[in-house]
């Protein structure tokens, strides 16, 4: 991992991250399904279950690092019929792919795509009822800035929900998962996507990401109340929820 660390450092983390997602954009959904055996879909379902937007109220979601729109699609199906969403992502290629993916969906008319950085969101204060970030925040170099920005753009009473890889709290699962991430994930990347580096980065970014308790503390530091988390799949992923009062 040392040579990858060096490359990330010399390129600059955000530039390196952008090059990763620009490279994988067209194969992103396929690789997600292959690497997780489809489990990422269940994790995203669990995210929307906890967010629980009301069917009888129209609301606006800001889906940051929204990529190909999986969270947005689920939100719009669960929320009031007049609800809308903005997918904000730093990568033009991921946005293009998201647009292509959503073109076939009836939700397309309710979605706007905005290219932007989670650390400096191009939106006014107190604009949104919901903010989501799924498998996105670990890619943001300054996590605290992203949380501060989430707090800023939410309306009072607004809800923050983050879905992210986290720390496994089951010892045997931990060892198995480490083997899988160190060996199977980069090999799959090499064979299916023809490039192991983005998938080595995936493993690196998960290892370096703050654990459940630390992320919850950072949310409180940003100003969120009622900060709670739920482990999914033994802590392979976790949901963090908070409210702006
Ligand atoms: C692993 S994908 C997740 C996509 C989608 N949310 C999902 O769950 O399938 C991570 C996304 O984060 C985006 N991203 C990385 N750094 C970002 C930043 N600083 N601001 C906004 N988006 C960012 C990438 O371009 C990429 O689309």
pLDDT in tens, 1-20: 668 999 998 899 999 999 99
Closest CA to ligand 1's atom 13: 65
Secondary structure, 3-state, 138-184: HHCCCHHHHHHHHHHHEEEEEEEEEEEECCCCCHHHHHHHHHHHHHH
pLDDT at 107: 81
The whole-angstrom separation of Cα 47 and Cα 218 is 20
Q: How far is CA 157 from the centre of its chain?
A: 22
Distance 245 CA to ligand 1 centre (A): 27
Average pLDDT of every residue of the chain:
95
pLDDT band at 109 (very low <50, low <70, confident <90, very high): very high
Distance 89 CA to ligand 1 centre (A): 6
The β-bridge partners of 170 are none
Closest CA to 82 of 56, 106, 108: 56
The owner of tokens 């503390």 is: 217
Verdict on whether the full-model pTM lies above 0.85: yes
pLDDT band at 98 (very low <50, low <70, confident <90, very high): very high
State whether residue 57 is helix, strand or coil. Answer: coil
Q: How far is CA 107 from the centre of its chain?
A: 20
Task: Note the pLDDT tens digit of each residue in 43-92.
Answer: 999 999 999 999 999 999 999 999 999 999 999 999 999 999 999 999 99
């Amino acid at each position: 991992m040392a040579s990858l660390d060096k490359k990330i450092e010399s390129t600059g983390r955000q530039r390196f991250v952008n090059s990763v997602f620009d490279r994988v954009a067209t194969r992103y959904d396929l690789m997600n399904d292959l690497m997780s055996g489809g489990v990422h879909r269940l994790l995203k379902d669990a995210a929307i279950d906890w967010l629980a937007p009301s069917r009888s109220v129209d609301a606006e979601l800001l889906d940051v690092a929204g990529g190909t729109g999986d969270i947005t699609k689920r939100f719009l199906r669960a929320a009031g019929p007049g609800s809308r969403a903005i997918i904000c992502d730093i990568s033009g290629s991921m946005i293009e792919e998201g647009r292509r993916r959503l073109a076939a969906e009836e939700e397309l008319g309710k979605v706007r795509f905005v290219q932007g950085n989670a650390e400096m969101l191009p939106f006014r204060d107190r604009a949104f009822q919901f903010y989501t970030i799924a498998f996105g925040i670990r890619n943001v170099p300054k996590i605290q800035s992203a949380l501060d920005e989430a707090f800023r753009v939410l309306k009072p009473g607004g809800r923050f929900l983050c879905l992210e890889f986290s720390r496994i709290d089951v010892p045997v699962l931990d060892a198995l998962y480490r083997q899988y991430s160190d060996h199977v994930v980069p090999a799959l990347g090499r064979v299916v996507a023809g490039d192991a580096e983005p998938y080595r980065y995936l493993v690196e970014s998960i290892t370096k990401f703050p654990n459940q308790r630390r992320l919850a503390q950072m949310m409180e530091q940003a100003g969120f109340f009622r900060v709670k988390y739920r482990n999914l799949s033994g802590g392979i992923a976790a949901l963090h929820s908070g409210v702006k009062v």
